[in-house]
Amino acid sequence: MKHLRRFILLIATLSLLFGKSDQYVLLISFDGFRADYLDWYDTPNFDRLAEHGVKAKGMQPVFVSKTFPNHYSIATGMYADHHGLIANTFYDAKFDATYKISDRTAVEDARWYGGEPIWCTAEKQGVKTASCFWVGSESKAGGCQPSVWKRYDHDFPFEARVDSVMAWFNKPEESRPNLVLLYFHEPDNTGHRYGPNSKETEEMVEKMDKLLGEILDKSKSLEIYSRLNIIALSDHGMAEISPERTIRLSDHINMEGVIQEGSGPIAFLYGVDSTRLGKLACDLKNVPRLKVHLKANIPNRLHYKHNDRIKDLLLIADEGWSIIDEERDNPKFLMGGDHGYDNSLWSMHAIFVADGPAFKNGYQIGTFKNINVYPLISEILGITPNSEIDGEIEDIRNILNED
C-alpha cells in the first residue's frame, strides 16, 4: 500500500511539474435544452448527475442566442463579436462571401473562425482531444484540429455517437484524448417544431435524459472512469412563437434599397447612407415589440458591436415575436419555438450540470456566462488558457473541488 501511495504521489508531482493534470473531460451539448426543462420535465439522469456534482440555475448564452455563435463561444471563451461567428448565417464584406451553417465549404473554412478553440489550446500543449460534431472542429480554427474529429452528419444515430466517444476513451494511453466534445441536435429540433411547452418536447427531453443515462452507465466501464469529468450543457434555450406575433418592417418603413439580413428574433438593416439609416432607426423606434440600435449604440452588455460583420442597424424583437423577411418568410408557418432573443431573457438560458473528481458534490450555483466554460476546462486539464479569452475562471472557481 505504501508503494502504491508513493507511486500516486509521484504521478501527481509529475503532473504539476509538466503543467498537465491526469483528468479527463467529456463535454456534451444537448442543443436547445432550456434551463427550466429540468424543472418542467422528468429528468432523473440529469438529476443524478447534479446530485453527485454541480448544477447551475442556468447558463447565459452570448448574444445572439443562436447555435453556432454559442457553441463556438463555449469552445473559445469569447463573445461573438470577438470570435467573429456573429450568427448562423451572415455576410462578410471583406470576403464578399456569406457564411451559412448549411454550406459545407464555409463551415470547413478556417478564415471564418477567430479565437482559439479549447481543443487547439490543448493540442498545442500536448493534450490530445476529440470532437463528435462540435462547431468549428471541422476546420483548422485557431490553427489546428482535434486529434480525432468527425464531419457533421445529422442522421448519424445518437447511440453511435456515444459508442464513438467510448471507443476514443478506450484507446491506449498514448493516443487517448483527455478532452472529448459531443453534440446532439435535440431537443432543439423538436422545440422549434412544437414549442418548449409541448408534449413532443417533453418526450424528447425525457429521451435525451435516457441518452445521458446510457452515457453515465457506459462510462463506468472505462478504465479512466475515476478521473472522468462529465459536463452536460446547452447552447441556448427556447421561446414560444406564434403567427399572431409578427413584425412586418414594410408596414412601418420604405424598404426600397435596404438590405435585410436575418429574420425571426433579430435582423440587420444596411446598404443605405447614414442619413437614411438614421431616419430608418427613428421610424422603427415607434414600432411596438421591437428594439432598435444603431451599431455604435448597441448596449455594451450584449458585447456585440466590435466586429465588421455586425451591420449598421440591429433590430431585436421582444420575446416570442418574429421579424418577417418578406422575401422568405410566410408568417402562418411561424409557430412552435425559436431562439436568438436578448440573452438576458430566462427563456434563452441553457443547462449546466457536471460531475467528476474535479467538481464539488451536490453543489448548486446561480447563473453564469457560457464563456467561462473554456477556462473551466483549461483548469481541469491543467493547460494554460489563451490570453485573449473573455471568460474568467474566478467567476466559477467555487464549483471546483478543493481537495
Give, in order, the Cα–Cα distances in Å from 250 to each of 33, 86, 122, 225, 379.
34, 25, 49, 58, 51
Asked if the structure places residue 289 within a domain, the reply is yes
Rounded CA separation 389/377 (Å)? 13
Residue 402's pLDDT band (boundaries 50, 70, 90)? confident
Statement to judge: residues 296 and 226 lie in one domain: no
Statement to judge: residues 98 and 207 lie in one domain: yes
Domain final position from 277, 309, 334? 334
Query: Which active-site residues does the annotation give?
Result: 67
Asked if the structure places residue 159 within a domain, the reply is yes
pTM for this predicted structure: 0.94
Statement to judge: residues 107 and 31 lie in one domain: yes
Asked if the structure places residue 67 within a domain, the reply is yes
Statement to judge: residues 230 and 363 lie in one domain: yes
Closest by CA to 88, choosing from 108, 109, 103, is: 103
Looking at the structure of the chain, the number of domains it has is 2
Structure confidence at residue 19 (pLDDT): 52
Domain residues for the domain of 313 are 243-334
Asked if the structure places residue 7 within a domain, the reply is no
Structure confidence at residue 14 (pLDDT): 42
Q: Give the tens place of pLDDT for each residue, 83-106.
A: 999 999 999 999 999 999 999 999
Statement to judge: residues 235 and 250 lie in one domain: no
Domain final position from 289, 304, 334? 334
Asked if the structure places residue 341 within a domain, the reply is no
- Contact present, 84 and 309 (Cβ < 8 Å): yes
Place of cell 438593416: 269
> What's the CATH number where 265 sits?
3.30.1360.180
Domain final position from 280, 303, 334? 334
Statement to judge: residues 178 and 289 lie in one domain: no
Closest by CA to 195, choosing from 249, 245, 267, is: 245
Does the pLDDT at position 360 exceed 60? yes
Rounded CA separation 128/202 (Å)? 37
Statement to judge: residues 164 and 303 lie in one domain: no
Please name the amino acid found at residue 12: A
Closest by CA to 376, choosing from 116, 29, 65, 25, is: 25
Structure confidence at residue 364 (pLDDT): 98
Statement to judge: residues 192 and 230 lie in one domain: yes
- Output the nine-digit C-alpha cell for 130: 476529440
